[in-house]
């Protein structure tokens, strides 16, 4: 039995500008990794190089499995001067 739940996907900094939106929502209907989440919400765009990802405010790897109710955040690495 699949448990359905809304997943929130957030984009920050220049990534938000590039995609033209700050977040996406979808219903999780199967087991998905962070990589699967990116492919689901951005099917025609490869993730930018060195893109960071967090789930529920903790840095995770791209093979992290999301769970119902998770918030997934994608953001480019911080650069400064």
Task: Give me the residue spans of the domains in the chain.
Answer: 5-75
> What's the pLDDT at 79?
63
The predicted pLDDT at position 81 comes to 55
**Any bridge partners for residue 69, and if so which?**
none
Q: Which CATH architecture has domain 5-75?
A: Roll (3.10)
What does the alpha-carbon distance between residue 54 and residue 67 come to, in Å, rounded to a whole number?
Answer: 13
Bridge partners of 15, per DSSP, are: none
Query: pTM for this structure?
Result: 0.87
Instruction: Check whether 57 has a pLDDT greater than 70.
Output: yes
For residue 60, the model assigns a pLDDT of 98
Q: What is the pLDDT of residue 3?
A: 47
Reported confidence tier of residue 2, pLDDT bands at 50, 70, 90? very low
First to last CA, the chain: 51
In this prediction, residue 80 carries a pLDDT of: 59
Token pair for residue 13? Answer: 């900094």
Q: 18-46 pLDDT, tens per residue?
A: 999 999 999 988 999 999 999 999 999 99
């Amino acid at each position: 039995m699949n448990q359905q739940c809304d997943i929130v996907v957030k984009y920050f900094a220049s990534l938000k500008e590039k995609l033209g939106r700050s977040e996406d929502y979808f219903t999780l209907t199967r087991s998905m990794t962070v990589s699967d989440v990116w492919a689901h919400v951005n099917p025609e765009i490869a993730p930018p190089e060195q893109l960071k990802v967090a789930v529920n405010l903790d840095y995770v790897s791209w093979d992290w499995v999301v769970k119902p109710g998770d918030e997934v955040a994608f953001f480019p690495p911080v650069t400064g001067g």
